[in-house]
Amino acid sequence: MQPFIQPPHLSSALLATALLVLLATSGPCLAQQRIVANLPDAPAPKQQPNDAGAKQKNGLSKTTVAILSRKSFFFPDLAYTSKPLTSSQKFLLAADVTIAPSALIATATSAAISQAKDSWPGYGQGWEAYGKRYGATMALNASTNMFGVFVLPSVLHQDPRYFVLAHGTFSQRIAHALKRVVVTPTDAGGQAMNVSGILGPLGAEGLSNAYLPDAERTTGKTFERYGIQMAIIAGGNIAKEFWPAIFKTLRIGKVAPGAAPQASRP
């Protein structure tokens, strides 16, 4: 059996040198690991509290612009471009407004209300009477549009379209819709008294005395109908003002042909 051989003792200087080398090589690595471990996965900017509201407002604005940048099938007189209309375009617009879904629905509703209230009693009651009321209301709308959208705007160089305010408060938009009854844009881009919109319905009511029952052909009855028609026009302006929001809420693009949103213009 061999005797146990004890390893030689290392000097204190040699041990100190080895310890220093070990610390010098391992220290930076440990420090680097600590730094990397404390870093976030990816730096991200701090989100402001109103960022979500701004994004929602941006989305609503883009939707409004997208809807207003193309022709409306429900309200053809909603302006989708600032370019002025020619006389022939105003004539076509008058025809489009007369047969638009909004006009047909309003005509049917107005005739039904007249039937229920027994307005224009000379027509009587029943389906035949309703048909007469519907036809008379349709003729009144057509002549109103012909005078107020085509003839007078062409002569006076006024723009018969409705320009939506879109970015005002609720009360500002209501005021804008009501103001549009008496103030209208011009073909040159200015503002003028809405002579076309005021005299057009009055001319149509005067013409309606040629086909309404005899009891309706008085001056008092004519101006009474004229006042009602101007109130209906003001209500229609309010509906047009908020049409983009209604369009988006009802998702009409999914159920109405030709109403699907197209690519928005710059």
Whole-number pLDDT of residue 252: 53
Rounded to whole angstroms, the Cα distance separating 15 from 21 reads: 10
Using alpha carbons, select from 99, 50, 45, 51 the residue that is nearest to residue 77. 99
CA end-to-end span of the chain, whole Å?
98
Residues 6+ apart with CB under 8 A from 1: none
Helix (H) / strand (E) containing 192: strand 191-193
Structure tokens of 248? Answer: 């988006």
Chain segment 40-95, per-residue pLDDT in tens: 444 444 545 455 454 444 544 444 445 444 677 888 999 888 899 999 999 999 99
Angle between helices 87-99 and 101-117 (to 10 degrees): 50
Chain segment 228-240, per-residue pLDDT in tens: 999 999 999 999 9
Whole-number pLDDT of residue 130: 94
Whole-number pLDDT of residue 235: 94
Q: Which residues of the chain have pLDDT under 50?
A: 1-10, 14, 19-45, 47, 49, 52, 54-57, 59-65, 67-69, 253-266
Number of H helices, E strands in the chain: 10, 2
DSSP 149: I
Rounded to whole angstroms, the Cα distance separating 129 from 116 reads: 11
Whole-number pLDDT of residue 80: 87
Whole-number pLDDT of residue 36: 41
Cβ-in-10-Å burial (0-12, 13-18, 19+) of 209 comes to middle
C-beta of residue 229 within 8 angstroms of C-beta of residue 173: no
Rounded to whole angstroms, the Cα distance separating 62 from 263 reads: 11
Q: Where are the domains of the chain?
A: 82-251
Residues 6+ apart with CB under 8 A from 210: none
Whole-number pLDDT of residue 39: 41
Using alpha carbons, select from 84, 96, 98 the residue that is nearest to residue 154. 84
Whole-number pLDDT of residue 234: 96
Sign of CA dihedral 40, 45, 50, 51: negative
